[in-house]
Structure 1
Amino acid sequence: MPEQQTTTPLEQQPHDLETELSILREKVAFLERIVHEVPASIYISSLEKGVVWCNKTNEETLGYTLDEILEMGGWEYLYKIVHPDDHNIPDDSVDHYQHFDGAEFGGIFRAKHKEAKDYKWFMGWAKAYSKNQEGQVKELLCVDVDLSPQMNTDKQLAAALKENLKLKHKLLIKSLRQRELEVLTLVCKGFSTKEIAEKLFISINTVSTHRKNIQHKLGTNNVADLVSLAKEAGLG
């Protein structure tokens, strides 16, 4: 009876590794195709340097290759494509992740292709992507979608801008300290400075100081604007 040939584990190992490597290559190619062909601009933005990587859709939508972006500098690129009146969006995202951890940040802004004269409307979202050794956010994963094809009416545009303003106000509210938030909540409910002092067991001067700080942080000049901003952000 002829001897039955068997394959030893060591002989099988190279074949198994080759198979796994082939499968891994297929997965990587599949994911790369999705990332570069998805109908949205995907990019990595460093809080220090600005854009440091982008997909092909981003390059096609705005006209700058990744090499061009890196050569001019990620922040200069952002300020070049984004409408001057909307520069607060990238600025606010940096401020947000320098002071808060974990929460996503989004906004509506205008940007244009390198060769175009007119700006298009985009909705963008950002999420913490990497952190430094101290646990602070270092880079953001950003996704921007061109809204222009969907915005065919002034009503739709107005609704989008209103939502953008609401998001911005929510971010401002988050910058307040706990005691300031308590004071603002009571202001929104119509309590006077004296009533707030009695309710929170603090002095009138302390309440006045809190109110001044709140006005400064939220950028409002009077109580009516302050209450309006807070209510638009969902407070009170």
Structure 2
Amino acid sequence: MKSTDITREELWAQQNLSAMEIDYSIWERDRSMLHQMSKVSHTCTFVVDVYKCKYTFASSNFADLLGYDRHKIATLEKQGDYLESRIHPDDRQQLADLQVRLGQFIYSLPVEKRNDYCNIYSFRIRDTRQQYIRVSSKQQVLEQSSSGKAWLILGNMDISPNQKESGQVDCTVINLKNGEIFSPSLLIRPHTDLTSREIEILYLIQQGFLSKEIAHRLCISIHTVNIHRQNLLRKLGVQNSIEAIKAGIESGLLS
């Protein structure tokens, strides 16, 4: 995967979060709750503060399960990207690029829809025996600012039951409002200028939905759907939906 031209931190900064929008007493409450939960859970929990652009919490299970230094976990805010230090070097760049591209997709959506998604990544990390194992990391918005922007991101990492031999970082994107599952290839636009909405409609066309059904699912008019359909046909240089689906698969937009 080609490295992106923007970092995660630069992407987060585009939200323009303001200190006036954030109440850190909420985070203190959440931190206390997460500490208590870590005592009864074996998953590795972490939190990213998008306003500060840094990791702000990690449960002690990172030390118990994956062999991280306990002191550095306890002082995570001062440790930079320490949580990422045990990720396989080949996977770390893939993961960073994928997170940026998924973030660009989410930030292209209306503000009221940006926090509806959960991303589940699968990659390799070094464990207590200094061997690489595959883990699953589920990430979603924990807290929003007063203006509805993503502020705190909650992550839960656990050893994956599927220990396949692969150098590929996998990702599944779930819309928490309607249960739809997206392939990451839908959110990455390598060779086309289709908008995220046009890609979403192309995906629904592939699933067999009619314009009326697409309009209902996306809460837009049939007229708007048809305009998007015309635009994506034009951009893909095809004449009909069947050709559009074929072009989408060939370009990597559809799986």
TM-score range, shorter chain: 0.5 to 0.7
Report the CA distance shift for 1:210/1:187 in structure 2 as closer, same or farther (over 3 A): farther
Match among 69, 89, 95 for residue 95 of structure 2:
89
Q: Aligned-residue CA RMSD in angstroms?
A: 4.2
Residues of 1 paired with 2:77 and 2:155: CA distance? 17
Which sections of structure 2, spanning at least 5 residues, go unmatched?
A: 1-31, 108-113, 174-180, 189-194, 209-225, 238-246
- Is the Cα contact below 8 Å between 1:184 and 1:211 reproduced in 2? no
Tell me what 1:109 maps to: 123
Tell me what 2:28 maps to: none
Match among 39, 44, 68 for residue 42 of structure 2:
39
Please state if 1:210 is matched with 2:210: no
Residues of 2 paired with 1:69 and 1:30: CA distance? 17
- The alignment partner of 1:70 has SS state of helix
Higher RCO structure (Cα 8 Å, ≥6 apart): 2
Tell me what 2:137 maps to: 124
Match among 119, 122, 134 for residue 147 of structure 2:
134
Identity %: 10
Please state if 1:55 is matched with 2:69: no
Q: Tell me the number of residue pairs that the alignment of Structure 1 and Structure 2 aligns.
A: 173
Tell me what 1:164 maps to: 170
Structure 1 residue 174, shift from structure 2 partner = 4.3
What amino acid sits opposite 1:157 in the alignment? K
Kindly indicate which of the two structures has a greater share of residues assigned to helix.
Answer: 1
- TM-score (norm. length: structure 2): 0.51
- TM-score (norm. length: structure 1): 0.54
- Is the Cα contact below 8 Å between 1:180 and 1:211 reproduced in 2? no
- Is the Cα contact below 8 Å between 1:183 and 1:211 reproduced in 2? no
- Is the Cα contact below 8 Å between 1:43 and 1:141 reproduced in 2? yes
Paired residues for 1:8-19 under 5 Å: none
Which sections of structure 1, spanning at least 5 residues, go unmatched?
A: 1-28, 190-199, 213-221
What amino acid sits opposite 1:131 in the alignment? Q
